[in-house]
Amino acid sequence: DLLLAIPRPKALKKVLPAVASLGVDRVVLVNAARVEKSYFDSKVLDAAFVRELLLQGLEQARDTRAPEVLVRERFRPFVEDELDTVFGTEALRLLPHPPARQPLQKVGVAEARRVVLAIGPDGGWVPFEAELLEAHGFQPFSLGPRILRVETAVPVLLGQVTLLKAPPA
């Protein structure tokens, strides 16, 4: 599953097909301090447009099950009031966050039944958002010293989680 601060519309057009082709079950697109409010008015968030982008990813992966996509315009109310209902309480909650030191391999991905990644906007989560996510069970980890754009970070993170969850050959 993916909790994703709404990226630029141009980036979202790349991210949604990738998310569908990589087998994500649920995506919540959420507002954040560094998200432009105008993104909520973008045609990219129209249900028909989102569906078309997801179908592109499903076709590429030869899959038929599209992820559920929810849009939430208020970060704090979502985290405090809906997070547990939408993602459940049993999933391993992960927060890729540049200040973190712990690598992804050390947070228990291999043993987790479900994983929820909270990926911030291009500027990252502001401290209040990161602290609120941590208070709700998200474990910060580092991807290394480089800061990635959302359209790069999403497939990289999903690929790493998939690799760590794969049974040994």
Judged by DSSP in three states, 62 sits in coil
pTM value? 0.94
User: What type of residue sits at position 80?
Assistant: E
Angle at 44 between CA 59 and CA 60, to 5 degrees: 10
pLDDT reported for residue 51? 96
Average pLDDT, the chain: 94
Give the C-alpha separation, 136 to 83, whole Å: 9
pLDDT reported for residue 24? 95
Q: Which residues pair with 5 in a beta bridge?
A: 30
Judged by DSSP in three states, 99 sits in coil
Can you state the angle between helices 9-21 and 47-61, rounded to 10 degrees?
A: 40
3-state secondary structure 1-14: CEEEECCCHHHHHH
pLDDT reported for residue 169? 62
Which stretches in the chain have pLDDT values below 50? none
pLDDT reported for residue 70? 97
3-state secondary structure 13-26: HHHHHHHHHCCCCE
